[in-house]
């Protein structure tokens, strides 16, 4: 895998061309694609964590886009991913109660 470049959305080369520049791109193989999706997930998650409240919806949408692509790259449909999420939520709960764990009493 090269260390240069980053995974971009499918239409980015087209958008760059429309601006008058010529992008240099290549198509990643499956192994590189999966790794670059993980890298992109870290990038998008960091952006979401740093986002102002007004920018958060767009950043969360970017995270979700990457999650869906990473799931698909591993053979998971959005429906199957949701089934897994719902099962974990049923078994362990969600994050809606705002519970913060600080450890166990001795």
Q: Name the DSSP class of 95.
A: S
Could you report the average pLDDT of every consecutive run of 10 residues in the chain (106 residues)?
81 97 97 97 98 98 98 97 97 96 96
Calculate Rg over the CA atoms of the chain.
Answer: 18
Instruction: Supply the pLDDT for residue 5.
Output: 94
User: Which pTM was predicted?
Assistant: 0.87
Instruction: Supply the pLDDT for residue 3.
Output: 57
Instruction: Supply the pLDDT for residue 70.
Output: 98
> Cα 61 to the chain's mean position, in Å?
9
Q: What is the tens place of the pLDDT at every residue in 25-55?
A: 999 999 999 999 999 999 999 999 999 999 9
* Location of structure tokens 């591993």: 74
**Closest listed residue to residue 5, CA positions, set 48, 41, 39:** 39
If phi > 0 it is left, if psi is from -120 to 50 it is alpha, else beta; for residue 75 that is: left
Instruction: Supply the pLDDT for residue 1.
Output: 40
**Closest listed residue to residue 28, CA positions, set 40, 14, 44, 45:** 40
CA distance 99 to 102: 10
């Amino acid at each position: 895998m090269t260390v240069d470049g980053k995974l971009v959305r499918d239409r980015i080369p087209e958008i760059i061309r429309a601006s008058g520049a010529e992008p240099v791109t290549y198509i990643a193989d499956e192994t590189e694609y999966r790794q670059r999706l993980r890298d992109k997930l870290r990038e998008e998650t960091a952006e979401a964590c740093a986002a102002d409240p007004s920018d958060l919806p767009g950043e969360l949408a970017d995270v979700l886009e990457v999650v869906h692509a990473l799931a698909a790259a591993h053979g998971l449909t959005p429906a199957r991913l949701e089934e897994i999420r719902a099962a974990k939520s049923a078994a362990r709960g969600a994050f809606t109660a705002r519970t913060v764990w600080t450890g166990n009493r001795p």
